Amino acid sequence: MKFVAALAVVLSVAAACGPSAQQACDDFAVAFCSQNLACLQGGDLQTFQSAYGSDQTDCVANYEALNCKPNQTPCPAGLGFDTGLYEQCVKDYQNASCIDVSQPGFQPASCSNGTVCH
């Protein structure tokens, strides 16, 4: 499913001199829902709405219930989470074009584990 890459980003979030893991996940949920609800069309939108809800409030709540677990594993063992780079990931997702957002597996380069975990 096209949302797998975005989910992987959220599961890699941890606290480090910035927002908590929960806040980081919440921030990504807002960007993820906003962009997908605005950009997806037809069957892709219906699939997204079936998974997350048809409006921003429901989407964020459902996304958080599915992906923002209290005991989520941050970056792989031995690696730290770079809050500044993660905040850039959220901004890049918010500012992505609808063409990009609608591509299967889309995630900005700034969202990769290799970027935010080091």
The pLDDT tens digits of the residues spanning 88-99 come to: 899 999 999 999
Q: Which residue has the higher pLDDT, 37 or 26?
A: 37
Residue at token pair 């500044």: 84
Band of pLDDT at residue 53, cut at 50, 70 and 90: very high
Residues 6 or more apart from 102 whose CB is under 8 A from it?
39, 40, 41, 44
In this structure, of 13-17, 49-53, 69-73, the range with the lowest mean pLDDT score is: 13-17
pLDDT score at 86: 81
pLDDT score at 8: 44
Does the global pTM surpass 0.75? yes
Whether the per-residue pLDDT at 1 is higher than 60: the answer is: no
Whether the per-residue pLDDT at 77 is higher than 60: the answer is: yes
Q: In the beta sheet, which residues pair with residue 81? A: 117
